[in-house]
Structure 1
């Protein structure tokens, strides 16, 4: 999920359009976790992570190829860093995490991204901090810790180390948000996105080529279906979603767009339920704790 930049438009210019786009964006990003799970039926976590990046590149390059010529040479080093910490590494971490976590739990933990963005902002970027926000932070962290103990049956069990991979990915998302704001904020967001996907997407093709990825499409029983899931995850979840997001922040206030944070876990939980994943009062309680904590932190920002 992207970090929001300040909006110049305080009023929604087209409410119906904005609401529909927000719901569509929530559906796309909230579905990414079940798509990872389905992609893993035939491919390894390395192949899913790198494939997601590669297909994300193919989904956006045709639309924004002309933007590449507008990127200054000195800026490419920052684009490479942003591509690694904000796209490639999280994609790999999520792919590995879903091998040991329910996709719905992964989606719920992903809601910690704006919270870590705020914490890093306070520690390193002079964000204002109010003690009231500490309550929200503690509630969200408690929910994160508790959900890490929920087992595949929906009950409390032993700590699941795979949750740490999701948490690390959300921290990387948060770092990337601050990094882009510091070094790439003057550049149009579509241009940044195309540059990022180009630098990491093209090399990932060769990783897939030598990993045996393409041979599995024809030989593995789930090869074709997993490929379709992975292509949707990359092309739609990265390429198309970026275009929706960039347009949405132009026609609606930041506060409105930030509600996507609260809708993504709901979508992820719904997909998990439809896929016969465990759904218990513990899942619901932990999700409410995390989202409530995020809300309280944002409210007093």
Structure 2
């Protein structure tokens, strides 16, 4: 999750600016992303990184797309809760190092930390864990496609929870198309045969957690004076604390530390969480939220390709076709009609 500061309102990769129901990222695994607003919409030219933003956009899409593969490899050697704990721990370490380099302070105030604890649960600890459990029984590519439904859940929730988001024909059509895509991915006409119902349900529930968290952040942490990295770092630290309490109670200590699962968890935390959130925020500042959030639409494509090519996962025609329908619906819910001339 990444915070972006705008004038007095919170606007998902986080991952992740745009109104809170819009994703820009997975977990993280997207992750997804929510933000509490910067005062500037674009960085001064002198402050922009030397690497072209298009290359960073491609790198971010690849990192987050491969996050689902890394989760799958991690669960080959560790319990799902252990994978998630390692992920947020190493992600927190990266953001903590960034805060030290930038000499920025963590947020202050018990009220702020209380709200951050709730957002840490909704945007990090719970969805990351659900995806890890889901991938015990479903392909990593399917998990990545389920993650792409976050904008659809977000739009549906925002129509109810956020008074400024009014239903329009375009948005309602996008929701309908998107959920038709979900049914296509799941093969509804076959009675969902061949799918693990519990694993798929957990992946969809994980994607549902993100917009719930974004709306919560938008209602409670708008107008924070802390920097986006400080807010995100504090949130990940709280997620680490939450998981550090729960994991020993629910799992036993690992008997060994196998190489590839260990490297996968390390990469998931360092690259897919800590570094990716900083990259995403940098893109938002440089090119704006509309362009930056388009990374969301590449994640399921990369996740599916990585699962097939690297892990040898099988896929049927309805999976990529359904994914394209989901993405088309999600894009439609977030599009805006062009203003009329003279309006």
1:224 and 2:254 aligned:
no
| Greater CA drift, 67-76 or 79-88 | 67-76
Match of residue 41 from structure 2: 9
Unaligned runs of 5+ in 1: 218-222
In structure 1, C-alpha distance between the alignment counterparts of 2:43 and 2:318, rounded to whole Å = 38
Match of residue 281 from structure 1: 317
Work out the number of aligned pairs and report it. 292
In structure 2, C-alpha distance between the alignment counterparts of 1:230 and 1:10, rounded to whole Å = 33
Deviation per CA, 1:76-131, whole angstroms, max 9, x where unpaired? Answer: 10010010111000011000111111101110111111221221111110202212
1:199 and 2:231 aligned:
no
In structure 1, C-alpha distance between the alignment counterparts of 2:298 and 2:143, rounded to whole Å = 14
Q: Secondary structure at the match of 1:101?
A: coil
CA distance change for structure 1 residues 156 and 201 in 2, over 3 Å: closer, same or farther?
closer
Match of residue 116 from structure 1: 153
Compute the RMSD of aligned alpha carbons: 2.6
Q: Secondary structure at the match of 1:135?
A: helix
Q: Which structure ranks higher in relative contact order (CA pairs < 8 Å, sequence separation ≥ 6)?
A: 1
TM-score norm. by structure 1 comes to 0.88
| 1:37, distance to aligned residue in structure 2 (A) | 0.5
In structure 2, C-alpha distance between the alignment counterparts of 1:159 and 1:256, rounded to whole Å = 34
| 1:56, distance to aligned residue in structure 2 (A) | 1.9
CA distance change for structure 1 residues 181 and 156 in 2, over 3 Å: closer, same or farther?
closer
Unaligned runs of 5+ in 2: 1-12, 20-37, 338-343
Deviation per CA, 1:162-193, whole angstroms, max 9, x where unpaired? Answer: 21111111111011112222222323221111
Match of residue 61 from structure 2: 26
Once the two structures are superposed, the pairs formed by residues 4-153 of structure 1 within 5 Å of their partners are 4-5=17-18, 8-9=40-41, 17-64=52-99, 67-126=104-163, 127-149=165-187
Match of residue 171 from structure 1: 208
1:233 and 2:268 aligned:
yes
Match of residue 220 from structure 1: none
The one of 197, 209, 221 equivalent to 1:184 is 221
Match of residue 215 from structure 1: 255
Match of residue 30 from structure 2: none
Once the two structures are superposed, the pairs formed by residues 252-267 of structure 1 within 5 Å of their partners are 252-267=287-302
CA distance change for structure 1 residues 12 and 269 in 2, over 3 Å: closer, same or farther?
farther
Deviation per CA, 1:223-257, whole angstroms, max 9, x where unpaired? Answer: 12111100110121111111111111101122111
Q: Secondary structure at the match of 1:259?
A: helix
CA distance change for structure 1 residues 130 and 47 in 2, over 3 Å: closer, same or farther?
same
In structure 1, C-alpha distance between the alignment counterparts of 2:43 and 2:95, rounded to whole Å = 29
Is the contact between residue 134 and residue 143 of structure 2 (CA under 8 Å) also seen in structure 1? yes
TM-score norm. by structure 2 comes to 0.78
